[in-house]
Structure 1
Amino acid sequence: MVQSNVLEQARAFIYSNARLLDRKRFEYLFEGGSKEEVLRALKAYQNDDGGFGNALEPDIRCPNSQPVPTEYALYVMSELDCFDADILNGIIRYLKAIAVPGGGFPLAYRSLQQYPHAPWWKIEDDGAASINPTGQIMGYLLKQKTRNDFVEEEWFKRSLNFVKKTMEQGTPAGYHDGIQWITFLEHAPESYRSIDTKRRFDEWLASPGVIERNPHAEGYVHKVLDWVTGPQSYAAQFVTEAEIEEHLSALIAEQEGDGGWPINFPAVSSLGELEWRGSLTVERLKTLRAFGKL
């Protein structure tokens, strides 16, 4: 167990700086708060078309619906293990409307460029499907049990096939693609996760440089605890207990004086940075608790 002031200081940071959604997530996860309060805060980011925008993804400040924040909305409901029917119905309507004819969803739309956004959000083609965020979107849709009447619709079946074909053609381009593979593999039917695909993915995860082993590495890298957020994480099989303990100690030491954890990339704005840090601080606390450090 670590000293209780880790949680206390993080709590003070969250209530002082985090957006309402992450305050409600913290309440639910650590203080006996309700799922309904989290869902109510999440719903505020949903547009009339059913998709999510309004800076739910802090690097994309546009109000318009975008695939990545819609993916994140599914993540929040997965975290709660509660897929609200009203929110989900809107998401399915949105995804059906934006699905690429050959299956899958774009990474983003150029409309985001009319608003402040991180420099890496450079979108040239609105119609190109991307494994990010299609893999996790499909994984969460397969995980939820709220409704399944859409699974035989063509947009859904084509999107399943898009992910399957993408995974059969190679390996992830990096962390952001890798987590898409993981969520999909965890929830997809056996026919969509072949032994060969899993073997190649496992070999990729185990290869040098994919999981950053140095707990003090700087820059935009993804370390052990980014991949292994708890003992049951898929990538846990590729790291040692000693590595996990070393990274847990480093993670605790990275907590800043204001109680929050830092981001390792440039923020769009001071507000965007606080929004990211609030979300990340909730995630860091979840990891510390999962490994018995809180």
Structure 2
Amino acid sequence: MKLTRTKFMKAREFVYANARLLDRRRFAYQFEQGSADFVLNALRSYQNDDGGFGSALEPDIRTPYSQPVAVECALAILDEIGAADPGILRGIRKFLKDTERDGGGFPRAKIDVNEYPHAPWWNTADDSHGSLNPTGRILGLLHKLKAEPLPGEEDAWFSRSTDFVWSRIPLADPSDYHDLIQCITFLEHVPNRRRAEAELRKVDEWLQVPGTIELDPNASGYVHTVLDWAPSPDSYARKWISEEDIGRHLDVLIERQQEDGGWDMNFSALSGGNEAEWRGLVTVDRLVTLKAYGRLE
């Protein structure tokens, strides 16, 4: 099964009618030969003077102030468009240096998240310690983008935070998608390959535990199914998923396009505007996955 051209155009209409400027430009980059610079210009509007990112780049965190998870989102967008923008990355390194906690790592959320509307799972009572999520993926993406501290920059924070992630990987929740994605991204790109390969063998064991990767495409609730783990054929977890399961989930993904052309998320929205932002983001992501697997007509 492939997404027909008619249904693709319906999705396009949904994105341009509902999505944020950033996600409209991501769509244009992916499907209409749009410029990576246009994506970068939209992304820069979320970057603060401290070098971090805020203003609901992560749509469930509405604070204008910089948050580590918003930095993770920004790095993921740079990775998506293959643009290691020096100015953006210089700001990110400054923010991370200033945000590192004692013992290394960055908090899951800074406590000022509580001052603005946010999803309940972002409630934060203490931001004094680092967290594997999002530290692991932040550092992994910095390595992937070759955006480690430059020669001459003070890089002790980077080394401490790297050591922090190494220490937290054995303590990760092996059934938790978010923990494992943090581990995987870090271990795929950290330079110490011998140590990384040893840790990845443990991650492989976790991924093969029944239920870790949800194989039922119709599972309800906040679950992480095959295409969350393997949104493209080159995703790390893809090797533990059969062709049959990939095919079934792609078919169901196509079937779940809504009448308005977009796709829904599997969690509650904060507001109507928040829902539109999430659905625009998710719809672009779903189309990128279908493109990666050759499921667009």
8 A Cα contact 2:143 2:189, kept in partner = yes
Which residue number corresponds to residue 88 of structure 1? 89
Which residue number corresponds to residue 142 of structure 2? 141
Deviation at 1:170, TM superposition (A): 4.8
Specify which of 184, 208, 214 is matched with residue 206 of structure 1.
208
Partners of 1:156 and 1:124 lie apart in 2 by: 25
In terms of mean alpha carbon deviation, does 2-11 or 108-117 score higher?
Answer: 2-11
Matched, 1:252 2:254: yes
What's the CA shift string for 1:75-134, capped at 9, x where partnerless?
A: 100111111111111111000000112111000011111111111112111111111100
Question: How does the TM-score come out when normalised to structure 1?
Answer: 0.96
Partners of 2:219 and 2:291 lie apart in 1 by: 23
Q: Which runs of 5+ in 1 are unaligned?
A: none
8 A Cα contact 1:103 1:158, kept in partner = yes
For the residue of structure 2 that corresponds to 1:292, the secondary structure is coil
8 A Cα contact 2:56 2:64, kept in partner = yes
For the residue of structure 2 that corresponds to 1:168, the secondary structure is helix
Partners of 2:276 and 2:11 lie apart in 1 by: 13
Which residue number corresponds to residue 64 of structure 1? 65
Runs of 4+ in 1 over 2 A off after TM superposition: 145-148, 168-173, 190-196
What's the CA shift string for 1:3-26, capped at 9, x where partnerless?
A: 112311110000000000000000
Partners of 1:54 and 1:169 lie apart in 2 by: 32
Which residue number corresponds to residue 36 of structure 1? 37
Which residue number corresponds to residue 166 of structure 2? 164
In terms of mean alpha carbon deviation, does 154-163 or 178-187 score higher?
Answer: 178-187
Question: How does the TM-score come out when normalised to structure 2?
Answer: 0.95
Partners of 1:153 and 1:172 lie apart in 2 by: 31
Tell me the number of residue pairs that the alignment of Structure 1 and Structure 2 aligns: 294
Question: Kindly, what percent of the aligned residue pairs are identical?
Answer: 52
Partners of 2:173 and 2:66 lie apart in 1 by: 29
What's the CA shift string for 1:171-195, capped at 9, x where partnerless?
A: 4451111111111111111357444
8 A Cα contact 2:256 2:263, kept in partner = yes
Partners of 1:129 and 1:263 lie apart in 2 by: 28
1:1-294 alignment to 2 at 5 Å?
1-145=2-146, 148-149=149-150, 153-172=155-174, 174-191=176-193, 193-294=195-296
Partners of 2:37 and 2:198 lie apart in 1 by: 41
For the residue of structure 1 that corresponds to 2:119, the secondary structure is coil
8 A Cα contact 1:71 1:137, kept in partner = yes
